[in-house]
Structure 1
Amino acid sequence: MRNMFRMKLDYNTSYRALLSAQELVRGTTEDGYENLHSYLRQIEISNPGTVTCLDKDGENRFKYLFLSFGASIAGFTYLRRVIVVDGTHLRGKYEGVMLVAAAKTYAFVIVSDKHGSFKKACEKVFPWARRGICYYHLQQNMVQKFKGNQMLYLVKGAAYAHTLFDFNRYMDEIRSDIYNIKTSKIAKSINSALKPAKGFPVSFLLEFIREKLGRWFFKRREDALSLTSHHNRGVENLLAIREEYADMMNVERIDGWQFVVRGGHRDCVYDLELRRCQCSVFDIEKIPCSHTIAAAKDANIHVSTLGCPSYSKNYLYAAYAANIYPKSDFLESPNTDDTSPANEE
């Protein structure tokens, strides 16, 4: 009779085995820093237009790294100038912080948390830009820190107000309840997608990001090609809702360009030449409001000609038209004198 043996590994032994296996596949943390310069050069060669910057301290140790793929830079031309900045702590031997800047299809605005570094950077690099705080996490901050949700409707009203009058009205109500709600954290969507790689050696982390971006770019190109409407799906759905309200409004012409549109929350004057409505929705969103749609129908003008081109399917495709390629494998061996050693503890 054959003897049967069963080995049981304790947690520490299993964990050390896992770390050893990971090092065999990805190398050590130090390897990641030593290969960093070579990796960036390979990415620059295979992705023309890519911008990288590797900064080291006085002892030739890694300090900062900046990376923006050429495809992202080219696509930014077709997006409205809103930048969302988010930071997350990395895991691993030397830890660190990763900052992600993402452009949205929405005037030049920078959205971040309230960290002083973001404020200083914006004032130095983009002094003309406006900076906003993430509304979604502002609400979360209220619930978690102040243990109250009875004021959420006021915060939402202020966040979505399109006129100064409405904004001030909501803010006055908030101030009267002496709630301090002026801090929040930026949405974590992109950094959440990168969560599995936060403990990787830095070169593997960058490769994980490259692969993820490559898949995102391909999917968005496919989505844009599948559209049968003029605008992207989100805008088309919003316009459909606003058109239903527009059909219930009454339009009175003032002259060849101006209209009085009655209905909804308020009556407004819409100027077709200036593309301006008193509700200020279009000024902020660059998407036609119900008053605009009602006036356009009265003037036999298709509403698709009145929106911002950034919302069109052509711009959506152009924003992701460029490919993100894998690193080039046709490089000479890296010069060890020009590599970036890891931080020392």
Structure 2
Amino acid sequence: MLDDFGVSMAYQKAWRARENALELARGNQDDSYQKLPIFLHMLKVSNPGTIIHLVTDNTYHFKYMYLAFANSIKGWKHCRPVIVIDGTYLKTSFGGTLFTASTMDANNNIFPLAFGIGDSENDSSWLWFFTKLKETYREREGMAIISDRHKSIENAIDDVYPKAFHGACIFHLLNNIKVNFGVHGEDLNLNFVKAAKAYRSRCHSPTRRYTMMTSNIAESINAALKAARTLPITTMMEGLRSLVQKWVWKNGNEANGTFTQVTTYTETVLRENFIRAIKFQVFSVNTILYQVVVE
């Protein structure tokens, strides 16, 4: 202000002016919570099949919120039965935590399943979120849940999904090793990842994790919502809806333009493997045994 307009002001006055400007552009935090029920109702009306749960405490203050879009519910049966779970902080004056559940579609795109908001990552909030998640998507055979090593997530999975396999994100597990044992270095990173992805390690998993060894897709969602997490809750939910709609539109157009029997990602992998395979030499079993005996 001093450089541009020649006006000298104290830090607190500049801060208050900034907060007032942001409130004019984004809306008031208190008013946003009052508008949330109306927004969620209209979201459900305009997206038939969408499931929404809003819970308040005894004083009618916000407590929990759960949202699963109709498109996600319809598409879940076509995705691999692996759900990645994560929670991240909301950067507002009221705080709170954003819960996410996601998977990957056949073309290896991020496929959001459900979102939730609670006070923090505690046993009660995670239990409520997992309960609503199971009510929405049920439990598929051979289902696996991937997350970090948060104890509340583990407790909630044991209560709600006792038959599902709970796998740890390998990078969170690696960080735990570094913190607890004080071991660092590129050799540790390389050898740990190799060991985690080795077939003799993965064969001990009671269900298939496919290629989903980390919770990176959840971290990607958190990164995409980084700016939205600073907004009032209703504005944030509109930003979230807009993001999911863009992904659905983009991935849907790509799928409609696919004319092979498999997805674009799978077709690319098959072609690359075929190109490598034509350079291989094939020997009969007798020839291999003869070479071994001679050597």
Task: Answer whether TM exceeds 0.5 for this pair.
Answer: yes
Displacement after TM superposition at 1:236 (Å): 2.3
Displacement after TM superposition at 1:48 (Å): 0.7
- Could you say which structure has the greater relative contact order, defined with CA pairs below 8 angstroms and 6 or more residues apart? 1
- Aligned residue pairs: how many? 237
Q: Which residue of 2 aligns with 1:121?
A: 156
The 3-state SS of whatever aligns with 2:52 is strand
Q: Which residue of 1 aligns with 2:282?
A: 250
User: Which structure's CA Rg is the greater one?
Assistant: 1
Q: How many percent identity over aligned positions? A: 31
Does 2:252 align with 1:209? no
Contact kept in structure 1, 2:50 and 2:70, CA below 8 Å: yes
| 1:34–1:232 distance in 2 versus 1, CA, 3 Å | same
Q: Which residue of 1 aligns with 2:96?
A: 96
Displacement after TM superposition at 1:189 (Å): 0.8
Q: CA RMSD of the aligned region, Å?
A: 3.1
Letter in 1 for 2:194: G
Does 2:185 align with 1:154? no
Q: Which residue of 2 aligns with 1:26?
A: 26
Displacement after TM superposition at 1:203 (Å): 0.8
Does 2:53 align with 1:53? yes
Q: Which residue of 2 aligns with 1:76?
A: 76
The 3-state SS of whatever aligns with 1:52 is strand
Contact kept in structure 2, 1:84 and 1:104, CA below 8 Å: no
Q: Which residue of 2 aligns with 1:179?
A: none
Contact kept in structure 2, 1:33 and 1:203, CA below 8 Å: yes
Written as runs of structure 1 = structure 2, the 5 A alignment for 1:99-178 is 99-105=99-105, 107-139=142-174, 146-164=183-201
Q: Unpaired runs of 5+ in structure 1?
A: 169-183, 253-259, 264-345
Query: Separation in 2 of the partners of 1:154 and 1:195?
Result: 32
Displacement after TM superposition at 1:251 (Å): 7.8
Instruction: Give TM-score, length-normalised by structure 1.
Output: 0.61
Instruction: Give TM-score, length-normalised by structure 2.
Output: 0.70
| 1:50–1:249 distance in 2 versus 1, CA, 3 Å | farther
Structure with more helix by fraction: 2
Query: Separation in 2 of the partners of 1:167 and 1:48?
Result: 42
Contact kept in structure 2, 1:55 and 1:64, CA below 8 Å: yes
Q: Which residue of 2 aligns with 1:319?
A: none
Query: Separation in 1 of the partners of 2:188 and 2:58?
Result: 51
Contact kept in structure 2, 1:111 and 1:131, CA below 8 Å: yes
The 3-state SS of whatever aligns with 2:25 is helix
Displacement after TM superposition at 1:200 (Å): 1.2
Q: Unpaired runs of 5+ in structure 2?
A: 107-141, 206-212, 289-295
| 1:35–1:43 distance in 2 versus 1, CA, 3 Å | same
